[in-house]
Chains A and B, each alone.
Chain A
């Protein structure tokens, strides 16, 4: 039976790597779709407090961010060490918050304008005075849904 030629031993068949690009492309597309590019660099210290009863902020397109905290070291020379508000890429004063919210709201599509959430990313060493000022500004422009963004963890760690 010469049809079944005996394989020479010690001679492994080569594994085809032709599908390797396909696999890599698959992974590539996955990471491409889940990637979110950072759109603003944070210019304030932003160590968020911990909380355990958190809810996830679904859908990033419905969120407006407000940062607050002490300016980081490179900005301390020009802006001092008092807690400041950062909107988009620049420092702002409290009375600019309202117009910023209105501006951001106007950028969103019509059907989302009523379901927007304002995420407050505030450093845990900030004073409540500033937060209250921000909150009263938000109330003025009727942006009532807020989310105090926190890390998930034990809330009592904030007290140290």
Chain B
């Protein structure tokens, strides 16, 4: 059972192709991360799923309904798209009441979502006095109003303080445990790695990866960082391991980084012992999502701009 299914989904804005034949299937229940560099097509995808823009070609289904008929599923979808937008002169409660009325929801639902995001007590204040974090909480409250089966959140922890981030992280996990699907679009990859079970990576409107976060992390070569008991033995240890066929390099002056899986620790230890060196520490290190992401998508905006220009040139010729 998939919550979202797309086939060849394409959207062009004049000469620019924001999304290029995207085909993916996202599982129901759980937290799904949607990542990609700026201009990769994330926002375009979200807007299409919410019926705000129409695809140039291709098809997509949300909650088993075609995106051409958003009225059939948007009552079961909550969303926070880009920055939370409200009427600044109205109170938080009035803003939520206005959205609740629009959806035909009863007034007590507003109290429930205010409580959920921790804004009870501040709800009578006009939104223009709210900090970015409070606006963000209000945006999440608005997204929660319809008690959604599918929640789409764009940068949900933007502007939140550390305790707020932990709260929202807990809220997303609770929703996922309750069988809801939460799609989180974010640039905070450490956050995505912590919160998400499933990941979608988009670059230049193309799908780069779609699958469990654990599978992606497992793709990176694991390493073990080791240190000899005496720092002066570090160079000898490096030579010893290299001679034994290990791929090894300096991690720092007195630490070595060996390409090896965690279970190969004992072999490493025996190799060092054969050379009369005692290891004082052995730390398995796995590549972070951030490293993998940069490897897949480019390291900087300049890289991306250059790559996009090259791609456009190739297409033109």
Partners in one complex: no
Interface residues of B (CB under 8 A from A): none
